[in-house]
Every structure is written in C-alpha cells, then in structure tokens.
Amino acid sequence: MRKIIQLCLSLVVACAGVAVAAAPAHADGCYTWGRTLSQGMNGEDVRQLQIRVSGYPGHGAVLGLDGDFGPATKAAVTRFQQAYGLPADGVAGGQTFTKIYQLQDDDCTPVNFAYSELNRCNSTWAGGAVPAATAKANALVSMWKLQAMRHALGDSSIRVTSGFRSVSCNNAAGGASNSRHLYGDGVDLGSGPHSLCKLAQQARNHGFNGILGPGYPGHGDHTHVDHRSSRFWSASSCGI
C-alpha cells in the first residue's frame, strides 16, 4: 500500500511538472484580462489592451489609448490577430489574450524590449519634461510599438541606442531642448539587421507620429521614433 501511494505521489509530481511546462506563458505578474472585449465596451481593461495593440493602428495612424473600444481599436486588434495567425475578428478573447501573455514579461514590457534599454540615463525616470511615472508609461507604449515593428520585420532584433533622457542627460547628448526623449517616448534605433531607412519606413505602420532618419539633420547614424501629438516625418535619404 505504501508503495502504491509513493508511486501515485511521484506520478502526480511528474504530471504536475509536465503541466507547468506545457502551460502557455501566462504573465499574471503584469495584467490578466477577465472578460472578452469587443467594440462598444470601455474600461481600464480596454486601455490595457489598447497599449498592447498600439503598434497596429494602420499606416500613418495612431491609436488613442482612451479605454474606449471603438472602430480603430477593433481594426488594431484585427491587425494584431492577423499578424499572429489568429482568427481575425477584432474581438479580444482567449486566443488573443494568450498571445499577449506570451508576448509580455511580468513587468508588462514586451518580451524583446526592457525598461533598462529604454532608459540608460537614470533609474528613476525623473528629471525629464513630465513626471517620472508618465515618462515610464510613455516608454512602455513605445516598446509595444517597437514589438509590433520587430515582428513585422521578421522577428529579427531592433537595436535601441537611446530612450528616456532627463534634462541633464539630454543636454549631455546634445538633444534638442524640446526632444521627445524628455517625455520617455522618443527612441533612437541603430542599424543592425535592418538599415536605418528600413526602420524609418517600417515605423510609419506602427503608430509613430515622429520619425526622423537619414537625410534629417543630425540623424545620419540613427533613426529616431516617438509619439508626439501631430505627425512629423523626415528622412529624405529614405524617401520620407
């Protein structure tokens, strides 16, 4: 009898181990959605969804992060679903959330980007043009846009060379006095698997109102993206 119990216990342990390994990467440490979301709904859960699909607004568009699930949010969810081969109905349910859980770390950043990459200036996010929490939240949105762009470019890496800057870090870097780096959403990208022009061109599809690249003064060695309030794109050497 004791032997049988021991066998059963070891089987339970073995089975539990398999179940844990096979379970989808569920980042409860960040955020868990509790209901299916569709057009006409609103709330903080919609806003959390909007952040995750902010890189799918369509060419030249920017998705509002207002917590209201309107037609633009439906279209962004549909593009996200298409990008990952999910049934594309614009309704965020189990499959969509499972994919988002797979794509996010416990601190809510997308798996291929990190807060530490977006802030090499200080550890507090303070000293910029907005409160630290705002700068950090803005950087998070930029990361989700970059994650969408990275996937669209075949999942090869995107190299971040500069992100948030305090006023003193921005001055040291020679940044413009109204630089979006002071707001946390400005990100400089270096060449790597993708050329600077490829990055600037692709960024047009992923919710970046600001794009500066080769041909724009001071941008011969990086492509800058941000989410300023109205569109300014300039990278004349790239046809932008």
Q: How far apart are CA 10 and CA 1, in angstroms?
A: 14
Start-to-end CA distance of the chain, whole Å, equals 77
The structure tokens listed for 101 are 């859980």
Residue number with CB closer to Zn ion (77 or 149): 149
Q: How far apart are CA 24 and CA 31, in angstroms?
A: 15
- Nearest approach, Cβ of residue 232 and Zn ion (Å): 12
Residue number with CB closer to Zn ion (90 or 213): 213
Q: How far apart are CA 237 and CA 25, in angstroms?
A: 42
**Among residues 194, 219, 224, 227, which one is catalytic?**
219
Residue number with CB closer to Zn ion (104 or 162): 162
Q: How far apart are CA 73 and CA 67, in angstroms?
A: 10
Q: 227 an active-site residue? A: no
**Binding residues for Zn ion (CB under 5 A):** 186, 188, 224
Q: How far apart are CA 120 and CA 125, in angstroms?
A: 10
- Nearest approach, Cβ of residue 224 and Zn ion (Å): 3
Which residue is at the shortest CB distance from Zn ion?
Answer: 224
By three-state DSSP, how is residue 45 classified? helix
The structure tokens listed for 114 are 């990190």
- Nearest approach, Cβ of residue 139 and Zn ion (Å): 13
- Nearest approach, Cβ of residue 175 and Zn ion (Å): 7
Which amino acid is residue 149, in one-letter code?
M
Residue number with CB closer to Zn ion (98 or 161): 161
Residues with catalytic roles? 219
